[in-house]
Chains A and B, each alone.
Chain A
Amino acid sequence: MDMNERKIGDVILALDNISLSFGAMKVLDDISFDVRQGEIRSIIGPNGAGKSSMLNVINGFYHPQEGSITFRGEKRKEMDVHKAAASGIARTFQNIALFKGMSTLDNIMTGRNLKMKCNIFQQGWYWGKAQKEEIEHRQKVEEIIDFLEIQNIRKTPVGRLPYGFQKRVELGRALAAEPDILLLDEPMAGMNVEEKEDMSRFILDINDEFGTTIILIEHDMGVVMDLSDRVVVLDYGLQLADGPPDEVRSNQTVIDAYLGVSH
């Protein structure tokens, strides 16, 4: 794919001097980085480095004791989960969090929840406005199903699906919210090479087709280096490095801490 054509815009999200503690434990210590419109931004680091906590700060689940978050030019100390979702941030989880008994279609439909405008009475009556709205949402969901090539499991309860497909459905649900920023927490954990290739292609396609900004946590270094525009490296809550993949890869502190010191 021709990368030159991709448009990376201004800073959409800036995190300044973020510190987060649980009691005496400091999970994030003075972390600062920004995310530009349309880029694929990765957060890497060993287990317990604070990557998932960072995502939880971004989508407003954790509230940092110090630092500020600037989202679309608006400064605030903490986000709120609902506000984050409503303002265009969607995420997937490290451990799949789908409704196991519901079909792929219905699971993705739940991602449209915030876009639904009808009130409970209109929905109860169904005909008219609610019906029209449902058709629109279904259309959107079908486009996502088509995009992720999961037509064959449309009506299958997700609990019965193989792991790789469940990950894809979860991605679909996040996409259903038509997010500006998509947070992906280890989307490729536990996948085989072929599944990883598929998922990588979907991430690139999402970024390319919809212009979605993507913040990615991933352990597979090959994947991270291939996909990312910029990478931030965390270790035990500290920020070790921040920059394009090549720069980060050759950074000695990163090599020592993350990839292991050679003896």
Chain B
Amino acid sequence: MSNKPHDTFPRLLASHVKLRPNHTAMREKDLGIWQSWTWSQVSKEVQTLAGGLASLGLKRGEKLAIIGDNRPRLYWGMTAAQTLGAIPVPLYQDSVADEMAYILDNADAKIALVEDQEQVDKLLEIRDRCPQIEHIIFDDPRGLRHYDQPFLHNFEDIQRQGQEYNQQHGDYLNNEMAQSDGDEIAIMLYTSGTTGQPKGVVLTNDNVIITAHNGIVREGLTADEDVLAYLPMAWVGDNLFSYAQSLVAGFCVSCPENGSTVTNDLREIGPTYYFAPPRVYENILTQVMIRMEDAGKLKRSMFHYFMEHARKNGVKILNGEKVSVTDSLLYKLGSFLVYGPLKDALGLGRIKLAYTAGEAIGPEIFEFYRSLGINIKQLYGQTECMVFLCVQPDGEVFADTVGTPAIDVEIKIDDNGEILYRSPGVFHSYYKNPESTASTKTADGWVLTGDAGFFDEQNGHLKIIDRAKDVGKLNNGTMFAPKYIENKLKFYSFIKEAVLFGNERDHSCAFINIDIEAVGNWAERRNLAYSGYIDLAAQSEVYGLIKECVNKVNKDLSKDSRLGGSQIHRFIILHKELDADDGELTRTRKVKRNFVGDRYKVLIDALYSNLDECHVKTQVTFEDGRTGLLEADVKISNAEVYSIDNLTAASEV
């Protein structure tokens, strides 16, 4: 690869057509078969689509909304828009119509390219609120036969129209392509909005392409990587890993058959480069453990024997450290009998590089994958800088850090502990929101992350504690870092979600969501009957199980003089799973703490009283937008609180 990549996506595409025209650029599983497109085929598809968009009147600077699962045609829509100098705006495909209306309106989307009837229906529902949308193009015509709105178009018709347009307008596309440069806007990505309305992050070609290129250089990625595009297209990570880096490095991106086949498709593709949020790795591990419990005795004991060996030696071997000849041989045998087949079954057999980010990952989960020889590393980043801020270097991977600054990234910590950075990826602005832009980006180009953290003195890695604004104080003066403690809770496989309260209060209390799969399995083994989440969550045996976890976290906290005072005094197991449809989680599944706090105020009041039970009524929203009422009696449990380890406390003071 040349040192400096081309400065726009259409030029990158053209360069691959020259360099590797017959190399596979994209795959999609359709009707049970992996269909594939070479770089030159992709280029043709993009050109005709760009022509079609031009014929519908899409011009430089105008916005193309893109809504749907990861589909090749939707990715082509991005490049097609960029060919015209227009700006793609991907939206989360599982958003309800209301959420979409805000973004479409805020972004001034002129044309929407959507996947199927489901998305078309949503757009028709909100059409009177988004009058600026002139056309809707759909990929999958199923169920849309009787829709006769003149502004609705089949993707294939638009491509045909584009072909004619391109013939009639000769060099139009080339001229448009020639006018674009690195400073031009490449894409707008809406942040998920943990607080307030989502904001459109405007990123230039240079922001995206240079950052993608730097990532490729640091990790030594090549045109031979294989990537599975399965995370939402609206998320910056997918745009980086499945779009930008593919176009910079020239590697192939595969789109799964649909959302429910990802595990199968992963196995068939066997990606070499993979990203997953911690919860995916957690789920896979939970699945493996459950299935091993059900396996025959021989298999089970073999699994446990070799996993124990991997735990002791695998990470060392992966880091290139020395181990004894016997251990090394035994590890090889384990690879043949257990690790290899297991990785293969999970679709992780060919992984060269796996990333995780977004949330903290449990140390034992991290270690499980690394001991199998899977090079999983943590990174730290934001939409505002096109992901890469910090990455763990090979051989320096720890569960509790996010690594060292990426290429060309400068990081500093201000007096409040907040992390600031400067990098080539620093975003242009928030769309139509100069106040937020000004309050996030300083005059000399530093961006405030809103995260609190510090550099580890021993290894120079960055450690993240929490969101800077979430770090508060208990009435006893202890620092209150809710996420830090929530993560400790969530490292137990029985706990799926935790929400901590305690800022400006006397002590900490917690809401817990149990993991229905893990706890359900645990209950089955004990012959505990349950009818569903609500029933299981209310059982006293389950309370006992969760209490043990909370106690262990408290014990752990008591060893830390800074945080020992924030041990959890009381907790409840929530009667329902926190859900993005009810507004309790963001679309990227992060808890909206304040919203949850307001919504379940009754429960919080009960936690800070002497009651041991509380009646609660909750309105729930189903995926189709209907609502229902859920009522339950929620039990409240006390946890053990340990005395703070005075030795460390004394040494700190």
A residues engaging B (CB < 8 A)?
Answer: 1-2, 5, 138-139, 142-143, 145-147, 149, 151-152, 154, 197, 205, 208-209
A197: shortest Cβ distance to chain B, in Å?
A: 8
B145: which of A139, A145, A149, A208 is its contact (CB, 8 Å)?
A208
- The answer to whether B261 touches A151 (Cβ under 8 A) is yes
A212: min CB distance to chain B, Å: 15
Find out whether the CB atom of B258 lies under 8 angstroms from the CB atom of A1: no
Q: Is the interface of B mostly helix, strand, loop or mixed?
A: loop
**Complex formed: what's the CA distance from A139 to B33 in Å?**
10
B384 within 8 A of A: no
**Are the C-beta atoms of B146 and A5 separated by less than 8 Å?**
yes
The reply to whether B146 and A143 form a contact with Cβ atoms under 8 Å apart is no
Judge whether B32 and A142 touch: CB under 8 Å: yes
Question: Hey, which chain B residues are within 8 Å of A142, CB to CB?
Answer: 31-33
B31–A149 CB distance below 8 A: no
Provide the bound-state CA to CA distance between A97 and B30, in Å: 29
Does B3 make an interface contact (CB < 8 A)?
no
Interface residues of B in 6-33 (CB under 8 A from A): 30-33
Contacts of B145 in A (CB 8 A): 5, 208-209
| A209-B146 Cα distance, complex, nearest whole Å | 10
Nearest CB in chain B: distance from A222 CB, A: 14
19 extra interchain contacts, Cβ-Cβ under 8 A, other than A152-B257, A197-B624?
A1-B143, A2-B146, A5-B145, A139-B31, A142-B31, A143-B31, A147-B142, A151-B32, A151-B257, A151-B258, A151-B260, A152-B258, A152-B261, A152-B264, A154-B32, A205-B142, A205-B143, A208-B143, A209-B143
* Contact in complex: B258, A149 (CB < 8 Å): yes
Smallest CB gap from A150: residue in B: B260
Q: For the complex, would chain A's binding face be called helix, strand, loop or mixed by DSSP majority? A: helix
Give the complex CA separation of A139 and B31 in angstroms. 7
Closest residue of A by beta carbon distance from B147? A2
17 A-B pairs with C-beta separation under 8 A: A1-B143, A2-B146, A2-B148, A139-B31, A142-B31, A145-B32, A146-B31, A147-B142, A151-B257, A151-B258, A151-B261, A152-B257, A152-B260, A152-B261, A197-B624, A208-B143, A208-B146
Which one of A1, A151, A209 contacts B142 once the chains associate, using CB atoms below 8 Å? Answer: A209
- Beta-carbon nearest neighbor of A152 in chain B: B260
| CB proximity of B283 to chain A, nearest CB, Å | 15
Residues of A close to B258: CB separation below 8 A:
149, 151-152
Q: How far is the CA of A139 from the CA of B32 in the complex (A)?
A: 9
**Quick one: CB contact mask for B128-154 with A, threshold 8 Å, 1 for yes?**
000000000000001101111000000
> Please, which residues of chain A bring their CB within 8 A of the CB of B264?
152
Closest to B260 in A: A152
Interface centre among B32, B261, B264 (most CB of A within 10 A): B32
**What residues of chain A lie closer than 8 Å to B33, measured between beta carbons?**
142
Q: How far is the CB of A258 from chain B (nearest CB, A)?
A: 28
Contacts of B148 in A (CB 8 A): 2
Minimal Cβ-Cβ distance residue in B for A201: B143
In the complex, which residues of chain B have a beta carbon less than 8 angstroms from the beta carbon of A143?
A: 31
- In the assembly, what is the distance between CA of A2 and CA of B144, in Å? 10
Cβ contact within 8 Å between A1 and B146:
yes
A1 to B624, CA, bound (A): 16
Q: Within the complex, what minimum Cβ distance (angstroms) separates B162 from chain A?
A: 26
A-chain residues with CB within 8 Å of residue B260 when the two chains form the complex: 151-152
Residues on the A chain within 8 Å of B142, using CB: 147, 205, 209
Complex alpha-carbon distance, A255 and B191, angstroms: 56
Closest to B30 in A: A146
B30 contacts across to A, CB distance below 8 A = 146
Chain A residues with CB under 8 Å of B143's CB are 1, 205, 208-209
- Chain B residues lying within 8 Å of A197, measured Cβ to Cβ, are 624
Q: In chain B, what residue has the closest Cβ to A155?
A: B264
Contacts of A5 in B (CB 8 A): 145-146
Contacts of B257 in A (CB 8 A): 151-152
